[in-house]
Amino acid sequence: MSLFNLQSEKTVAVTELEVLTCAQTWLRDGYPVMLATVVDTWGSAPRRAGAQMVVRQDGTFLGSVSGGCIEGSVIQNAMEETSRGRLLTFGVSTEDAWAVGLSCGGEISVWLEPLTLEVVDVLQSSLQGRRTIGLKLSLQSDVLMRTVEDVNDSLNTSKSIRQADGSAVVAYQPPRRLFIVGAVHIAQALVPMATQVGYQIMIIDPRSIFLKDERWEDVERISDFPEEYLQSVDLGSRDAVVALSHNPNFDDEALYLALQHNAFYVGALGSRRNHAKRCARLQERGLLPEQVARISGPVGLDIRAQTPAEIAVSILAEMIQCQIV
């Protein structure tokens, strides 16, 4: 098959977790699937170790292992080999590097290996339970990958780490969650942007009229008071809470819980004057000044945003800036 006939399953950027979900679907449908994983990079390689792509035997693929410069060669190799592992290395000193366009001073090694439904199911089960899990790649053609349940702390902060035995372990963490309080127009702009970068999103608003299907389509919506719902979801360090309702009865409760449970990002819409009043109310309820100081208020980076879409951009940019790796 010519590389010019290859088709991607999606035309937008996807996360490694979406790559896993797609591979699971393909495997259940009976397609052989190869997993391509960046295991080493040097210099100005476009993607970090741990970046992944899945390739069906017919050439359909999802994900990325570079900025587009080596994908064609990786896909071609994946189509030619569906039963054994193979290490591919591209760099400026090889003919392959110039052929695929990696001429910017970087090098990259990609491990190709057949993916099994059993492995994907174990990975997905752990992630659905919001547990971190690892995938060990032997980097030997005749030794298959396996899942690793006891991922250590170093892997929680790095996507892929080479091991002393020459193997590589890729860490998968559950998706970051974004809890938006207030089903308002800024939220409508924020949802598709945050979805693009991999957030699992919940809209919380007790005013059911704000949660109509035509406004949100398939976004998860909770018609409940924030203090009721947020106490049930085990907030943690991979969660962001953004209060947009402009109603202190809703926003204050969400902020109070988010700060108590160490959400990595806590933001609230409102003027500086209103934010000062909000902080005073939260301290009166017992929060410490250093806890209250974690609230981004007015919410988002100061980029002089005016429109709902611009404000949404500023919020997402600040969330990314605050993300734990």
Residues 201-228 pLDDT 10s: 999 999 999 999 999 988 999 999 999 9
For residue 298, whether the previous peptide bond is cis, meaning omega lies within 30 degrees of 0, is yes
Mean pLDDT, residues 227-240 taken together: 92
Confidence band of 1 (pLDDT split at 50, 70, 90): very low
For residue 176, count other CB atoms closer than 10 A to its CB. 21
pLDDT of residue 155: 56
Please state, for a pLDDT cut of 90, what percent of the chain lies above it.
60
Nearest to 181 by CA among 134, 127, 227: 227
| Least confident segment among 64-68, 177-181, 191-195, 213-217 | 64-68
Please state, for a pLDDT cut of 70, what percent of the chain lies above it.
85
Confidence band of 325 (pLDDT split at 50, 70, 90): low
| HEC secondary structure over 288-322 | CHHHHCCEECCCCCCCCCCCHHHHHHHHHHHHHHH
Structure tokens at 27: 């495997």
Beta strands in the chain (DSSP E): 33-42, 52-56, 61-63, 86-90, 107-114, 133-137, 146-148, 160-162, 168-172, 177-181, 200-204, 220-222, 239-243, 265-268, 295-296
Interval 40-89: pLDDT, tens = 887 655 567 888 999 998 999 999 887 667 888 999 999 998 788 999 98
* φ/ψ of residue 147, rounded to 5: -85, 150
